[in-house]
Amino acid sequence: MPLRRVTFNFKKEMIQRPVIYELGKMFEIVTNIRRAEVDHDDGWVVLELEGSIDEIQRGLEWVTKQGVEVSSLEGDILAG
Amino acid sequence: MSVNQRASDHELLLSLPARLPEVMCATPSELRGPVEKLSNVQSLRCKECGRDYPQEPIYVCDFCFGPLEVIYDLHAASKSMSRESIQDGPLTMWRYDQLLPASREHAVDIGAGMTPLVKAENLGKELGLNNLWIKNDAANPTHSFKDRVVSVAATKAVEFDFDTIACASTGNLAGATAAHGAKANMNTMVFIPSNLERGKILGAAIFGSVVLVNGNYDDVNRLCSELGDDRRWAFVNINMRPYYSEGSKSIGYELAEQLGWRAPSHIIVPVASGSLFTKVFKGLNEFAELGIIDSNNSKMHIAQPAGCSPVATAFVDGQTHPKPVIPDTIAKSLAIGSPADGFYSVEIANKTGGSGTIVPEPEIAEGMKLLAETEGIFTETAGGVVISALKRLARENIIHPDEETVALITGTGLKTLEAIADQVETSTIEPTIGSFDEIVMGTAVT
């Protein structure tokens, strides 16, 4: 199954919501957290997603709609 | 894949050939012969958990997904590296190959490095700085510092026996990758948004294959991330990134050598991903550890445009991790909204007593103009960010007048002409002395 490595960036209002749990329940995606830092004001989680390409795409679109910023693990590739 | 909020509905229309052209001659590594020496590299090491990995085309730790960095055996390097051995080397960045992840004998070298360090007396007077230097990396072969990083990435790509080198770029990286791909006799895949200015497209296309992608920045990011997973290509800033980024250290080495074997008090660096910022500092630290310079006490200053300032903003706000932003700046070469090395840049700026400056967009062109009018150096927009940041640092007395200060100019203004279109004035006259006197000299004959 395809794997995708991403970073979720959480704003203050999203910190208490179990978005990653919901992602795994709502979509056929296995989530695997590798690194994270969360405090009162914000947080980020580096994780691996396993699932079909289409399902991961749908899942990430849903996460983005919830207000979580998603970025690729390597950051922006397109350079000046 | 990048799926942040910049995603649009643009359809990707890719002019990618159905299959890569067959290479009808020897592979690049066959042309160059076997690699006999791997410099003084000890390993790749995860910057987060410290796990070591062998030299391979990998860029993240399998365990924690932290970024990998090249680690050197400095003890071994100290036996063969000295000020004298460096000065006996070629007049390129490869004179420092003992601290690069490849040896100069096999380097894909089009002459990057050893760019001028100019004493900026006129600009210094303007800003009240008596010891100001400009490191002019626009003097590189494709007119930006990207030649340094791509020279290393291309060299490693050959060493790893890739036949294709690739990147995604809106400017400087495209030209550098295409030029080095040509020199290395490799297939080249340079992905550029199709709406980029024609001059920038042609500046890369002259060296070889350029692929125009119909879509926004995110679309190109996503496509290249997927291609990076899908194809066995050397993507300079993905799977070659640990090696690629090492090329930036050569700026730090050169600064020390050109200043007479010492680190300056202040270095102002334009920040995009943050890689350049961290590597200039790493280079100076390595020189200090080897005893080539006495110490590295440089204060590292972050310069970013207001339209894309996640790293400078994190510094100013006292945060450790920059928050991703949607870039909206005329400094296209700094338009990295999700900076891979942002965290490490903030850490270094804090550790060294440096700073983070957010330059208002209108001040970018002013900075370009100021440098051009005082020192005769035409910088790209990123350089305008640096000069305007420098001006603020001098005004706020963060840099004292007699402290040795270096501002990094990373690319030429010829690639960003549109930024200064309404900043310059010209006169048009009739081909007569009278017209010249009247319009230019303001001394019309009555």
Whether B23 and B163 have beta carbons less than 8 Å apart is answered as: yes
Structure confidence by residue, pLDDT tens digits, A20-79: 999 999 999 999 999 999 988 889 999 999 999 899 999 999 999 999 999 888 777 888
B228 at the A interface (CB within 8 A)?
Answer: yes
B317 assigned to some structural domain: yes
DSSP labels, B177-194: HHHHHHHTT-EEEEEEET
CA-based nearest residue in chain B for residue A53 = B226
Q: Do B168 and A35 lie within an 8 Å CB cutoff?
A: no
Tokens of B371: 């440098």
The span from the CA of B219 to the CA of B12, in Å, is: 7
List of chain B residues whose C-beta atoms are within 8 Å of the C-beta of residue A35: 48, 64-66
Closest-CA distance, A23 to chain B, in angstroms, reads 15
Taking an 8 Å cut-off on Cβ atoms, the answer to whether B173 and A80 are in contact is yes
Residues B138 and B149 reside in one and the same domain: no
A11, A42 Cβ separation under 8 angstroms: yes
Residue A55, domain member (yes or no): yes
B238 and B188 both lie in a single domain: yes
Secondary structure element (H or E) that encloses residue B260, with its range: none
Give the closest residue to B276 by CA, choosing from B411, B123, B83.
B411
Q: Is the pLDDT of residue B34 over 70?
A: no
| Same domain (yes/no): B278, B199 | no
For residue A63, how far is the Cα from the chain centroid? 7
Share above pLDDT 70 across residues of chain B, in percent, rounded to a whole number: 91
Distance (Å) from the C-alpha of residue A59 to the closest C-alpha of chain B?
11
What pLDDT is attached to residue B9? 31
Each residue of B251-309: pLDDT tens digit? Answer: 999 999 999 999 999 999 999 999 999 999 999 999 999 999 999 999 999 999 999 99
Phi then psi for residue B243, to 5 deg, are -85, -50
pLDDT, residue B445, reads 61
Element of type H or E holding B339:
none
Which residue is closest to A38 within chain B, CA to CA? B321
Do B252 and B343 lie in one domain? The reply is yes
Give the CA angle between residues B310, B312, B314 to the nearest 5°: 65
Residue B373 resides in a domain:
yes
- Looking at chain B from residue 260 to 279, which residues have their Cβ under 8 Å from any Cβ of chain A? 272-273
Q: Is the model's pLDDT at B3 over the cut of 80?
A: no
Q: Which domain holds residue A25?
A: 3-69
Residue A75 lies in a domain: no
- Answer whether A31's CB lies under 8 Å from A46's CB: no
User: B148 pLDDT exceeds 50?
Assistant: yes
Average pLDDT over residues B174-193: 95
Q: In chain B, how long is the greatest CA-to-CA distance?
A: 83
Q: Does one domain contain both B151 and B277?
A: no
Distance CA B211, CA B191 (A): 5
The whole-number pLDDT of residue B190 equals 94
In a domain, B7, yes or no: no
CA distance B99 to B146: 18
Residues of B in contact with A38 (CB under 8 A): none
Token readout for B135 is: 């490191």
- What pLDDT is recorded for position B444? 66
Of B64, B333, B336, nearest to A76 by CB-CB distance is B336
Of all residues in chain B, the one with the smallest CA distance to A79 is B169
- Establish if A40 touches chain B: CB-CB under 8 angstroms: no
How many domains are contained in chain B? 3
CATH number, domain of B204, equals: 3.40.50.1100
Residue B233, pLDDT above cutoff 60: yes
Q: Is residue A65 part of a domain?
A: yes
Residues B444 and B327 occupy one common structural domain: no
Query: Length of chain A in residues, anyone?
Result: 80
User: Would A14 be classed as within a structural domain?
Assistant: yes
A22 belongs to a structural domain: yes
- Is the Cβ of B169 closer than 8 Å to some Cβ of chain A? yes
Q: Do B340 and A44 touch (CB under 8 A)?
A: no
Average pLDDT over residues B318-330: 91
pLDDT band at B30 (very low <50, low <70, confident <90, very high): very low
What residues of chain B, 16 to 55, have a C-beta less than 8 Å from chain A?
Answer: 48
Instruction: Please report which confidence band the pLDDT of residue B446 belongs to, taking 50, 70 and 90 as the band edges.
Output: low
Contact yes or no for A77 and B272 at CB 8 A: no
Determine the pLDDT at residue B7. Answer: 30
Residue A35, Cβ neighbours under 10 Å: how many? Answer: 16
Is position B88 within any domain? no
Cβ distance B324 to A9 less than 8 Å, yes or no, reads yes
Interface of A with B in 8-37 (CB under 8 A): 9, 34-35, 37
Q: Say whether both B138 and B274 belong to one domain.
A: yes
A70 touches chain B (CB under 8 A): yes
Q: What is the DSSP letter of B52?
A: E
Q: In the structure encoding, which two tokens stand for residue A13, read together? A: 């209002």
Query: Per the domain annotation, does A43 fall within a domain?
Result: yes
B60 to A73, B239, B300, B365: CA distances (angstroms): 9, 9, 26, 37
B291 and B225, same structural domain?
Answer: no
- B299 and B426 in one domain? no
Are residues B375 and B444 part of one domain? no
The residue type found at B387 is: I
Same domain flag for B25 and B122? no
**Which residue range forms the structural domain that includes residue B426?**
418-446
Beta-sheet pairing, B164-168 with B234-235? parallel
Q: Of B139, B112, B111, B212, which Cα lies nearest the Cα of B169? A: B212
Q: CA of B333 to nearest chain A CA: how many angstroms apart?
A: 4
Domain assignment present for B99: no
Tell me: pLDDT of B18 over 60.
no
Question: B299 vs B203, which has greater pLDDT?
Answer: B299
Contact B176, B204 (CB under 8 A): no
Q: Which of A38-64 are b and which e, b meaning 16 or more Cβ less than 10 Å from the residue's Cβ?
A: eeeebbbbbbebebeeebbbbbbebbb
CATH number at residue A37: 3.30.70.260
Q: Is residue B8 part of a domain?
A: no
| Stretch B219-240: mean pLDDT | 87
Q: Is the ipTM of this complex over 0.85?
A: yes
The arithmetic mean of pLDDT across residues B127-152, rounded, is: 98
B76 and B139 share one domain: no
Q: Domains in chain A: how many in total?
A: 1
